[in-house]
Amino acid sequence: LFQTLHADDRRALYACMYELTYAPGERVVRQGAEGRNFYVVVAGTLEVTVRPRMKRLFPGDTFGEVALLHAVPRSATVTAAGSETCVLWALDRKTFKKILSEAAFERRRANESLLAKVAPLKMLDEYDRKVLADALVPKFYAKGENICVQGVRESPGGGAFHVIARGRVAVRLADGGEVNRLSIGAYFGEVSALEGTPPTATVTAITDVRAATLDRAAFRRALGEDV
């Protein structure tokens, strides 16, 4: 579940987790009871019982993910086992949904602001800009990493359109010569995204970079092109 989340959202959720401790033999959750929390095992051992089966959880294991999304009964009883105190980190459903809702709103607002600076998209009305803002996919690149390479398609479907949300990039041609540097609010890849052709230059992160990306289909739809 957490692997599909934006990195900033994961950090916000981690910051809201709280510690719980259970003595050996103490029950953490009961099968059939409504689930409200997601748990990460920090220390100790847990015994998971789904009659007649049983398994054990150790530090680094997690349980209760479904409780973050739905108010459904627990599918198993979980009890602190062994001779050591069991330490868990917990996150409740209400906090999980609140943070993701607020994060989605803030991300849309930031994406709308970013799109408003992009010349080819300034003709969009407010509704279309909101739709497009939701379609932007955040991509992260480490310093020195190529975002696209001259002559190499980014995907089988064609190119992608990129807007720099954080950091700086260098634009180079095949001979290695640097022809431009771009920073926040700048964009590239519009020709590849529109025509489905390979990039005409190599774009490399010269700092850590966060880009907002549209695949070819989404970009063409935004411009009113047939997909």
pLDDT digits (tens, 9 = 90+) for 135-148: 888 889 999 999 99
**Are the CB atoms for 85 and 46 separated by under 8 Å?**
no
Regarding whether 138 and 56 lie in a shared domain, the answer is no
Regarding whether 78 and 28 lie in a shared domain, the answer is yes
Lowest mean pLDDT among 3-7, 44-48, 135-139, 205-209: 3-7
Residue 207 within any structural domain of the chain: yes
Average pLDDT for 189-196: 86
Residue 83 within any structural domain of the chain: yes
The CATH number covering residue 162 comes to 2.60.120.10
pLDDT digits (tens, 9 = 90+) for 84-113: 999 999 999 999 888 888 877 888 888 888
Regarding whether 144 and 87 lie in a shared domain, the answer is no
Provide the number of structural domains found in the chain.
Answer: 2
Q: Can you give the residue range of the structural domain that contains 187?
A: 116-222
Regarding whether 127 and 72 lie in a shared domain, the answer is no
Residue 184 within any structural domain of the chain: yes
DSSP string, 84-127: SPEEEEEEEHHHHHHHHHHHHHHHHHHHHHHHTT-GGGTT--HH
Residue 108 within any structural domain of the chain: no
